[in-house]
């Protein structure tokens, strides 16, 4: 993935997504669900669940969720409707047959959690999310600590060998391994996805690996959110627009 390939000024996607021959890959937070101050406050939603059920039927199962959340969180929010999931940015992957593969946890997570917990004592609005294979420190409710959080994460990554995954008001220290793009490429070699054209909707910098993967496979990415440099081909302004576009797909 080359920075030189990033573009801005994206156009709106086609008025209606034609599902025939498409494999659909969807991020969750910021794409299917509005980002909230506390990740645990995202709940199941009847509209989202109904939309996913219809898309799964129309696509003959060619739909996967590719998210930074844990597998358990994804299943809770989507009410268990989606079998094919890549969780924790690809470190956990469940295929269309329900078979789950997990990366082994990195030993540096032990040191990382201790240092993050010590730092989080500075402000009760800092939130640590432990996903077993990664640790996320959310500072959405403590934006004045953004630089300190980022500096700490960089230092922990350097000291432990964990991968640093920056996001929207969050830093994540994760076991090195598969990315969202790697997960999409793996799914595309397996039934029912093989031979289809991949389309990936995502919002964050973590989704650029997915945008790169689908473009290399002859498909395209759709950025959800404000304009920025990206490998996606199209853009939708927000979660509501993304849901409406997916609901109109035929």
5 inside domain: no
pTM of the model: 0.91
63 inside domain: yes
> Is there a single domain that holds both residue 68 and residue 119?
no
pLDDT in tens, 127-166: 999 999 999 999 999 999 999 999 999 999 999 999 998 8
128 inside domain: yes
CB–CB of 69/78 below 8 Å? no
> Is there a single domain that holds both residue 73 and residue 184?
yes
User: Which structural domain, as residue segments, surrounds residue 68?
Assistant: 20-103+178-248
Residue 242 makes CB contacts below 8 A (sequence gap 6+) with 31, 32, 201, 222, 224, 236
74 inside domain: yes
The backbone torsions φ and ψ at residue 133, rounded to the nearest 5 degrees and listed phi first, read: -100, -5
Total of domains in the chain: 2
> Is there a single domain that holds both residue 38 and residue 77?
yes
> Is there a single domain that holds both residue 207 and residue 88?
yes
pLDDT in tens, 88-132: 999 999 999 999 999 999 999 999 999 999 999 999 999 999 999
- Read off the CATH number of the domain in which 115 is found: 3.30.70.1020
Annotated catalytic sites, by residue? Answer: 27
């Amino acid at each position: 993935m080359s920075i030189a390939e990033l573009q801005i000024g994206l156009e709106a996607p086609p008025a209606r997504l034609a599902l025939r021959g498409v494999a659909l890959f969807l991020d969750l937070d910021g794409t299917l669900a509005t980002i909230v101050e506390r990740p645990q406050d995202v709940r199941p939603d009847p509209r989202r669940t109904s939309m996913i059920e219809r898309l799964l039927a129309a696509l003959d199962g060619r739909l996967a969720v590719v998210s930074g959340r844990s597998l358990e969180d994804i299943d809770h929010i989507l009410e268990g409707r989606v079998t094919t999931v890549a969780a924790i940015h690809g470190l956990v992957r469940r295929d269309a047959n329900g078979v789950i593969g997990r990366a082994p946890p990195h030993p540096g997570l032990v040191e990382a959690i201790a240092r993050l917990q010590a730092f989080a004592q500075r402000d009760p609005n800092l939130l640590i999310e432990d996903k077993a294979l990664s640790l996320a420190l959310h500072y959405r409710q403590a934006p004045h600590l953004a630089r300190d959080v980022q500096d700490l994460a960089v230092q922990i990554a350097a000291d432990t060998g964990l991968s640093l995954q920056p996001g929207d008001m969050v830093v994540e220290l994760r076991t090195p391994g598969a990315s969202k793009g790697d997960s999409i490429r793996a799914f595309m070699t397996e039934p029912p996805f093989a031979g289809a054209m991949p389309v990936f909707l995502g919002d964050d910098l973590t989704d650029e690996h997915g945008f790169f993967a689908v473009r290399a496979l002859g498909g395209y990415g759709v950025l959800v959110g404000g304009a920025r440099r990206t490998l996606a081909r199209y853009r939708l302004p927000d979660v509501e627009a993304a849901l409406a576009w997916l609901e109109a797909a035929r």
